[in-house]
Structure 1
Amino acid sequence: MTRRKLLLALLALPAAGAGWFSWSRNRNPYYSGPPTDHFDGLRFFNPDHKWAKTPIETIRAIWLGDRVEWPESWPSPFWAAKPPARVEGSALRVTAVGHATHLIQAAGLNILTDPVWSERASPVGFAGPRRVVAPGIAFDDLPKIDVVLLSHNHYDHLDLDTLARIEKRDRPRVIVPLGNNAIIKANDPSSAAEAYDWGAVVPLEDGVTATLAPAYHWSARSVTDRRKALWCAYALDFGAAGRVYFGGDSGFGPGTIFRAAGEKLGPFRLAIIPIGAYEPRWFMGDQHMNPAEAVEAFKLLNAEAAIGCHWGVFRLTAEAIDAPAKDLATALDKAAIAPERFRALRPGEVWEAA
Structure 2
Amino acid sequence: MAARKRTANRYYSGPQSDHFDGALFFNPGGKPPGRFSDLLRWQFSGGRAKWPAAVPSPHPQVKPVPRVDGGALRLTMVGHASLLIQTAGLNILTDPVWSERASPFVFAGPRRVNAPGIAFADLPPIDLVLVSHNHYDHLDLATLRRLKNSHDARVITPLGNDAIIHRAVPGMRLSAHDWGDRIDAGAAAIHVEPAHHWSARGGRDRRMALWAGFVVETAGGNIYFAGDTGFHDGINYRLMAKKHGGFRLAILPIGAYEPRWFMAPQHQNPEEAVLGMKLCNAAHAAGCHWGTFHLTDEPVEEPAQKLAEALEAHGLPPERFRAMRPGEVWDIPPILTRNPNR
Structure 1 residue 297 corresponds to structure 2 residue 276: yes
Deviations 1:264-289 (A, max 9, x none): 12310000000000000000011000
2:118 to 129, 137, 144: 137
Distance in 2 (alpha carbons) for counterparts of 1:228 and 1:303: 32
| SS at structure 1 position matched to 2:232 | coil
Task: From the two aligned structures, give the one with the greater helix fraction.
Answer: 1
Distance in 1 (alpha carbons) for counterparts of 2:173 and 2:74: 27
Shift of 1:109: 0.3
Query: Which residue type is aligned with residue 150 of structure 1?
Result: V
Structure 1 residue 311 corresponds to structure 2 residue 290: yes
Structure 1 residue 341 corresponds to structure 2 residue 320: yes
Structure 1 residues 221 and 110, CA, compared in 2 at 3 Å: closer, same or farther? same
| SS at structure 2 position matched to 1:296 | helix
Asked if structure 1 preserves the Cα contact closer than 8 Å seen for 2:135 and 2:200, the reply is yes
Asked if structure 2 preserves the Cα contact closer than 8 Å seen for 1:305 and 1:342, the reply is yes
Query: Which residue type is aligned with residue 194 of structure 2?
Result: P
1:231 to 205, 211, 232: 211
Distance in 2 (alpha carbons) for counterparts of 1:313 and 1:279: 16
Runs of 4+ deviating beyond 6 Å:
none
Specify every segment of 5 or more residues in structure 1 that has no aligned partner in the other structure, as ranges: 1-21
Structure 1 residue 221 corresponds to structure 2 residue 195: no
Find the counterpart in structure 2 of residue 154 from structure 1. Answer: 135
Shift of 1:295: 0.5
Distance in 2 (alpha carbons) for counterparts of 1:95 and 1:271: 14
Distance in 2 (alpha carbons) for counterparts of 1:105 and 1:62: 39
Structure 1 residue 264 corresponds to structure 2 residue 240: no
Specify every segment of 5 or more residues in structure 2 that has no aligned partner in the other structure, as ranges: 334-342
Find the counterpart in structure 2 of residue 353 from structure 1. Answer: 332
Shift of 1:65: 3.4
Asked if structure 1 preserves the Cα contact closer than 8 Å seen for 2:132 and 2:158, the reply is yes
Distance in 1 (alpha carbons) for counterparts of 2:235 and 2:285: 19
Structure 1 residue 90 corresponds to structure 2 residue 71: yes
Structure 1 residue 202 corresponds to structure 2 residue 183: yes
Greater CA drift, 48-57 or 98-107: 48-57
Asked if structure 2 preserves the Cα contact closer than 8 Å seen for 1:49 and 1:254, the reply is no
| Alignment TM-score, normalising by the size of structure 1 | 0.91
Find the counterpart in structure 2 of residue 53 from structure 1. Answer: 34
2:46 to 41, 62, 65: 65
Distance in 2 (alpha carbons) for counterparts of 1:46 and 1:219: 11
Shift of 1:63: 4.8
Query: Which residue type is aligned with residue 213 of structure 1?
Result: E
2:148 to 162, 167, 173: 167
The CA RMSD over aligned residues, in Å, is 1.3
Query: Which residue type is aligned with residue 280 of structure 1?
Result: P
| SS at structure 2 position matched to 1:43 | coil
Query: Which residue type is aligned with residue 57 of structure 1?
Result: D
Asked if structure 1 preserves the Cα contact closer than 8 Å seen for 2:84 and 2:92, the reply is yes
Structure 1 residue 31 corresponds to structure 2 residue 12: yes
| SS at structure 1 position matched to 2:276 | helix
Distance in 2 (alpha carbons) for counterparts of 1:67 and 1:311: 15
2:91 to 107, 110, 113: 110
Distance in 1 (alpha carbons) for counterparts of 2:235 and 2:56: 37
Find the counterpart in structure 2 of residue 283 from structure 1. Answer: 262
Shift of 1:53: 1.1
Q: What is the 5 A alignment of 1:4-43?
A: 26-43=7-24
Shift of 1:103: 0.4
Distance in 2 (alpha carbons) for counterparts of 1:65 and 1:33: 42
| SS at structure 2 position matched to 1:77 | coil
Count the aligned residue pairs. 330
Structure 1 residues 308 and 56, CA, compared in 2 at 3 Å: closer, same or farther? same
Shift of 1:263: 1.7
Find the counterpart in structure 1 of residue 305 from structure 2. Answer: 326
Asked if structure 1 preserves the Cα contact closer than 8 Å seen for 2:33 and 2:198, the reply is no
Distance in 1 (alpha carbons) for counterparts of 2:119 and 2:149: 17
Distance in 2 (alpha carbons) for counterparts of 1:187 and 1:260: 35
Deviations 1:208-230 (A, max 9, x none): 10101100100000111101000
Q: Identity of aligned pairs, percent? A: 56
Shift of 1:51: 2.8
